[in-house]
Amino acid sequence: MKDTIISLSRKNRTNNFLKNKIQLKCKCGFSEKITYYDFLSGGKFDVGQTTQMVSTYISESIYDETIRVTPLNLSRKCPVCGEEIRAVFPISVENLIPMLQMAPPDPLMYG
Ligand SMILES: [Zn+2]
């Protein structure tokens, strides 16, 4: 699972989606922004435990759908105080993988 995410994100490095940023904040006041690409391609994350939850997406035909949600957890040492900074990727694995697979091909392929 983790390897799939790393290789998909590397293949999609030019995808604008991966240029979004996550802010990491430490208790000591240190903060930094890293891109989704850095987060995913660097492999410095753990695939969390899958949980079942009722979808908040409500349509006319489906209103009680149970979905699986697997979080990606990032932890990184604060360069200032050495404490661990934890962050959760804003998109679950189940949503992320199709997003990376749907990504348009690299325009360079068409010359
Ligand atoms: Zn700190």
pLDDT the model gives residue 108: 60
CB 84 within 8 A of CB 75: yes
| Region 82-90 average pLDDT | 93
Mean pLDDT of the chain: 86
Q: How far is the CA of 90 from the centre of ligand 1 (A)?
A: 22
**What's the 73 CA to ligand 1 centre distance in angstroms?**
18
CA angle 27–33–37, rounded 5-degree value: 130
Q: For the residues 42-63, what does the mean pLDDT come to?
A: 78
Say how far apart CA 72 and CA 93 lie, in whole Å.
7
The amino acid present at 60, given as its one-letter code, is: E
* Ligand 1 mean position, distance from CA 29 (Å): 6
Q: What is the pLDDT of residue 64?
A: 66
* Domain spans in the chain, listed from the N-terminal domain onward: 2-91
Alpha-carbon distance 44 to 2, whole Å? 10
For residue 42, how far is its CA from the centre of ligand 1 (angstroms)?
A: 21
For the chain, the distance separating the N- and C-terminal CA atoms, rounded to the nearest angstrom, is: 32
Dist CA 45 CA 36 (whole Å): 11
Label residue 10 by pLDDT band (50, 70, 90). Answer: very high
